[in-house]
């Protein structure tokens, strides 16, 4: 029997999907804890940005998208990246600057991707990736390829940008199969929502674009899986762009450098402040889809996977300024030979 009193919703997803989603969430949580620990040990250049508290939303999108879809994750999407198919090594290699990683030390941390495989590497300018996904969907349409969906992720703060508005409107005008996922985690760095926007629910903005809007409890994996199934399905069926807004709370600082002392304790104590990973574990136990032993075993497996991956990457070659190909153009004959030489 389900225990609704404890806030566990009715199972919407099949057991297999739910369990798989949980295991990606767990792996994401553990690899990010490891990266945070490496950061505190001074082993990582620049910042570390984790998705604690946002894994349910993130994984729900990643697991709902299919191979061949397009995906522009943002900074708190480790879980979704894993579920979409990004190798665990990609994140670790990018943080540690391994030459074998997708970014080869040229870019770091969350700025990683494999564009030709449909994972777009974010730039720091929020909202900027949405139109890139739009264009990739237009390319599919030009080539007569149908059935693919493109998804872009953003926080509520990023919805204040012009880039967000321009891209949403363009997606609507072009009727693109875009799923725009907004993690409303209550703070954009330190800025609370009452200094960011005034509307009751960000998904109400969908009406202004003439597109479908969805609101979901971002702490609830069932609800997230359900809303993604709906939104991704509708986009795939040609029903145009979908705006999904998930309400949740960032259970960390903006980055590991940030103690997040500005977060209102009342929010932490509210339903928004519940840890989605813990809630998912409770649901697994309540539904008897897993026992305590299973949870311990999965955690052990994930920990081992993380430790092995980190150990592997730590032995890998680092970027070498002497062998680096210092050339920003694909067309080498068009390199300005004077600027190329005068910088040495």
Partner 1 sequence: MITYLEAIREAQAKALADDPRVYIYGQDVGNFGGAFKATKNLAKDFPGRVLDAPISEDAIIGSAVGAAIGGMRPIIEMQFADFSTVGFNQVVNQAATLYWRTETACPITVRLPSGGTAGSGPFHSQSMEGLYAMFPGLVVMTPATVEDAYSMLLEAVAIDDPVIFCEHKYLYYHLKAEGLPTEALPVGKARIARMGRDATVVTYSAMLHECLAMADELATEGYEIEVVDLRSIKPLDTDTVLASVARTGRLLAVGEAWPWGGVTAEVVARVASEGFALLDAPPRRLNAKDTPIPYHPNLWGTHRPTAQTIARATRDLLRL
Interaction site with partner 1 (CB under 8 A): 102-103, 106-107, 111, 113-116, 120-121, 123-125, 128-140, 142-143, 162-163, 166-167, 169-170, 173, 328-331, 333-338, 342
Tell me whether residue 137 or residue 313 sits nearer to partner 1 (CB atom): 137
Query: To the nearest whole angstrom, how small is the minimum distance from the Cβ of residue 291 to partner 1?
Result: 43
Contact 209, 215 (CB under 8 A): no
Residues 6+ apart with CB under 8 A from 143: none
- In whole angstroms, the minimum distance from the beta carbon of 114 to partner 1 comes to 8
DSSP state at residue 241: -
The enclosing H or E element of 153 equals: strand 150-155
Q: How far is the CB of 152 from partner 1 (least distance, A)?
A: 10
CB within 8 A of 240, min separation 6: which ones?
A: 171, 172, 175, 176, 177, 211, 212, 234
| Structure-block tokens of residue 216 | 């979901």
Cβ distance to partner 1 smaller for residue 34 or 236: 236
- Nearest-angstrom CA–CA distance, 230 and 253: 31
Shortest Cβ 277–partner 1 spacing (Å): 31
CB of 133 to partner 1, least distance (A): 6
| Residue 165 or 287 having the CB closest to partner 1 | 165
Considering the complex, what minimum distance in angstroms separates the CB of residue 203 from partner 1? 20
Cβ closest to partner 1, residue 94 vs residue 226: 94
Task: Give the CA distances from residue 143 to residues 114, 136, 139, 151, 233, in Å, rounded to whole numbers and listed in that order.
Answer: 21, 11, 6, 19, 22
Closest to partner 1 by CB, 26 vs 130, is: 130
Cβ distance 250 to 186 under 8 Å?
Answer: yes
Residue found by looking up tokens 């339903």 in the block: 271
Residue (113 or 253) nearer to partner 1, CB? 113
CA distances in angstroms from 317 to 42, 87, 321, listed in the order given: 19, 18, 12
**Which residue, 36 or 152, has its beta carbon nearer to partner 1?**
152
Residues 100, 112: contact at Cβ < 8 Å? no
Rounded to the nearest whole angstrom, what is the least distance from the CB of residue 116 to partner 1 in the complex? 6
Q: What are phi and psi of 215, to 5 degrees?
A: -120, 140
């Amino acid at each position: 029997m389900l225990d609704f009193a404890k806030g566990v919703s009715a199972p919407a997803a099949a057991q297999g999907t739910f369990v798989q989603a949980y295991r990606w969430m767990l792996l994401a949580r553990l690899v990010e804890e490891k990266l945070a620990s490496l950061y505190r040990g001074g082993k990582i250049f620049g910042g570390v940005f984790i998705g604690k508290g946002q894994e349910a939303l993130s994984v729900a999108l990643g697991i709902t998208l299919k191979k061949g879809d397009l995906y522009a994750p943002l900074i708190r999407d480790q879980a979704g990246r894993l579920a979409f198919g990004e190798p665990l090594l990609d994140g670790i290699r990018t943080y540690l600057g391994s030459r074998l990683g997708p970014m080869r030390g040229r870019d770091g941390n969350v700025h990683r991707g494999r564009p030709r495989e449909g994972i777009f590497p974010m730039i720091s300018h929020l909202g900027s990736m949405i139109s890139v996904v739009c264009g990739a969907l237009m390319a599919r349409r030009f080539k007569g390829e149908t059935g693919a969906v493109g998804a872009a992720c953003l926080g509520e703060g990023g919805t204040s940008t012009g880039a967000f508005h321009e891209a949403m409107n363009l997606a609507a005008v072009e009727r693109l199969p875009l799923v725009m996922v907004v993690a409303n985690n209550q703070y954009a760095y330190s800025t609370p929502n009452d200094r960011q926007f005034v509307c009751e629910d960000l998904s109400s903005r969908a009406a202004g674009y003439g597109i479908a809007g969805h609101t979901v409890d971002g702490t609830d994996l069932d609800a997230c899986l359900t809303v993604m199934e709906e939104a991704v399905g509708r986009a795939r069926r040609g029903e145009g762009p979908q705006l999904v807004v998930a309400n949740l709370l960032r259970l960390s600082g903006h980055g590991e450098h940030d103690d997040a002392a500005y977060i209102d304790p009342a929010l932490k104590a509210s339903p928004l402040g519940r840890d989605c990973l813990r809630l998912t574990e409770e649901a697994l136990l309540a539904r008897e889809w897993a026992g305590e032993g299973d949870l311990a075993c999965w955690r052990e497996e994930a920990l081992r996977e993380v430790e092995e991956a980190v150990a592997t990457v730590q032995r890998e070659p680092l970027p070498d300024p002497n062998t680096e190909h210092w050339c920003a153009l694909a067309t080498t004959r068009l390199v300005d030979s004077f600027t190329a030489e005068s910088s040495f």
